[in-house]
Structure formats: structure tokens, C-alpha cells
Amino acid sequence: MTIRILTAGDHFVLNSLFLEALRREIPGDFETRELTLPWPLTPFGRVGEVNEASDVEDELIAALDGVDVCVTQMAPLTEKVLAAAPRLRLFGVSRGGPVNANLDAATEAGVAVTFAPGRNAVATAEHTLAMLLAATRRIPATHGDLAGGVWRGDYYRYESVGPELAGSTVGLVGYGAIGRKVAAMLRGFGATVLVHDPYLAPADAPEIELVALPELLERSRFLSLHARATAENRGMIGKGELAALPRGAVVVNCARGSLLDYDALCDALETGHLFGAATDVFPEEPIPAGSRLLTAPNLVMTPHLAGASKETAMNAATIVAADVARHLRGDLPLHLANPDVLARARG
């Protein structure tokens, strides 16, 4: 029986990248079908019971007719989709976490779900450093002044300049693939790195100093968030945590908007307790009109693109295609999000 694969790419992880990766990884013949999703030109959102997906349930159902494997970044794997795709056996999500897939329903239906951890680790780490430096050196603000024909010599006043990374202590909350790369880059700048990660034992990362969150906040001139969002860490950096940072600290969030209390962040910027902040993620995306974030002082913002690089898109396609090849050989996928499916796999 010929294997039928649907590539449901978008305008970042292109269908052509999926196809190239699949042809590299799968030696035999297979049929392909393509569906192009509108992300990022159209923002993702909640679709059915899943989050951060493109609203294309009906189009996906039509494209999945007779399909064994689907590879995608943003397609929604919902109960409705699963019920309409009885032949589907593998759903490969080319993201760090398969938030757009209903894992319980997929397991019940015997559909394996894979994902692509670490696909954007380098891109996000590089962006984190860029944001940290941009906020500390006031790069966007000074560029805006110059572009407007204004030369601001007052930025050179002692009270207006920021700290250097060299010799400073940087606290990282979370030490996964991205946090580890950020730490390595920071050490190259001559910074001291502290880490708080409740899921990490000291023996797992002997190269860093692992501390409790209160100690990390007290000692850190810079704070960078790299934790995966969970119900337990929602709002983990709030008014009290920001107040515990030394006056003049800089906060960066290129992880998830739910980790940080943004009203408290604006308060800390407006009072001058924080020297600056930079964020790539937000509690609501796009940012609504009238948000305090749009007028907070010395806040650098980018529209959730820390992981956006050509290498990220290529990595994403390659990681997913490799697991498709493992699945077709009868081997266990390396990045299986619902291992309980093995007991219910469709024949």
C-alpha cells in the first residue's frame, strides 16, 4: 500500500521544506498532497479545543481524506478532525511543543503525535541576546531619535546609560535547549550566569550555579525567562519578584507571555525601578490598542519572532521528517508526545 502524506505547511515552514526533508529521510515511494495554511499572515488562535492553531478545520479534513501521515506546524488536530480522518496514523508537529494537537483524543484514536524540540534554540538564544543588548544600550529609542532628525546628547549622562554584560550577573529562569545556549553566549561576554529551574538537579548541569528563585532575583542585574509555560508558573514573575531585582535591572522575556505580569512590568519601568525591558511575547497577541506596553518607557518589543530564522524552518521540517521515517520503518519516533498511543496504534 502506498503511503500518503499531507504536508500542511505555511508561510514559514514551507511545504517545499517538508517535501525536501521527507525525500531525504524516506527512501521508498510515497504520495504527497499539499495544503498551505495562512500563518503568520493570519494570526493563530484557539480552534475547537486546541490552542495556537490556524483556523482551517474544514480545509484540513478535506485534505486528510485517505492520508496516513500529516506534517504541519499550525494545523489543528481536534476531535472533529480525528473523527473525519480514520486512516491517519501519524501527525507530526514541527514546533517545540504540540499545543495545536489534542493529545488525549489522538491517543484514543490511535494517532501518534510527534514534535520538534530544539528547532529554534539557536535563533531564540541569539534574539534573546539582541533584545538584552537593545534594551540596555537603548538602541531602538536612539535610532528613532536619529531617524527623526534629533541628536540626543543627554543619553550620555551617567544616570541614562546602562550596565555592561561583562562582569554582571545574569539570572536565567529555565535551562532547556534555549537557556543552555543563552548561558553559553553570556559566558562569552564575560557574564556570571545563575539558573533557576525546578526540574533540574545540580548534577544535570555542573557548568552552572543552580539557585532558588529568590536568590536568583536578589543577585541578578539581568533577568531572562526561558521556562516552558505551565499552569503552575503562570505569572511567576510579578510585582514582588520584579521588586526583588536590584534597582536598574533589565528583564527579557523571549519565552511565553504567561510567565510575566505585564502590568507589574510597566509599573517597574515607569517608576524607574527597572532600567529597561525587552519582550517578544505578550499576554494577548497581537497587542491590543491602548495597552500600557505601547507607552512604557525603555521597553523593546518584537512581534513573537525570536525563533524566526531560515535555519529554524529547515530544522523543523528535518526533525519531523526524521520521525516520519522512523514511524514508517516500524521504529519508535524519537519525539513522541503521546507514548500511550503505542498500546492503541492502528494497524
pLDDT (mean) for 288-306: 97
Residue 194 has pLDDT above 70, yes or no: yes
Q: Which residue has the higher pLDDT, 28 or 234?
A: 234
b/e per residue 131-157 (b: at least 16 CB within 10 A): bbbbbbebebbeeeeeeeeeeeeeeee
Q: How confident is the model at residue 37 (pLDDT cuts 50, 70, 90)?
A: very high
Active-site positions read 256, 285, 304
> Of 69-73, 105-109, 128-132, 231-235, which range is least confident?
231-235
- The set of cell numbers assigned to 236 is 511567576
Sheet with 69-72: strands ordered across:
30-34, 3-8, 69-72, 90-93, 112-114
Q: 177 to each of 75, 180, 264, 284, how far by Cα in Å?
A: 25, 5, 28, 25
**CATH ID of 3-119+309-343, from 2.40.30.130, 3.30.70.980, 2.60.120.10, 3.40.50.720:** 3.40.50.720
- Is 197's pLDDT higher than 90? yes
pLDDT of residue 148: 97
Q: What's residue 28's pLDDT?
A: 86
Share of the chain above pLDDT 70, in %: 99
Does residue 185 register a pLDDT over 70?
yes
E strand residue ranges, 30-88: 30-34, 45-47, 50-53, 69-72
Query: Which pLDDT does position 347 carry in this prediction?
Result: 45
pLDDT beyond 80 at 243: yes
Whether the upstream peptide bond of residue 286 has omega within 30° of 0, thus cis, is: yes
Q: Where in the sequence of the chain do the CATH 3.40.50.720 domains occur?
A: 3-119+309-343, 121-301
Q: 178, 204, 203, 207: which is closest to 306 by C-alpha? A: 178
Local structure of 77: helix, strand or coil: strand
Task: Give pLDDT, residue 1.
Answer: 74
Q: Rounded to the nearest 5°, which phi and psi values hold at 85?
A: -130, 70
Q: CA-CA distance, 120 to 245, in Å (whole number)? A: 29
pTM of model > 0.85: yes
Please state the rounded mean pLDDT for residues 305-334.
97
Assess whether pLDDT exceeds 50 at residue 31. yes
Please say if the pLDDT value at position 344 is more than 80: no
Rounded to the nearest 5 degrees, what angle is found at the Cα of 124, between the Cα atoms of 123 and 125?
95
Give the pLDDT mean for 164-175: 97
**pLDDT for residue 346:** 46
Tell the CATH topology of 121-301.
Rossmann fold (3.40.50)
* Confidence at residue 345, expressed as pLDDT on a 0 to 100 scale: 58
Instruction: Look at the block and give the residue holding cell 480522518.
Output: 85
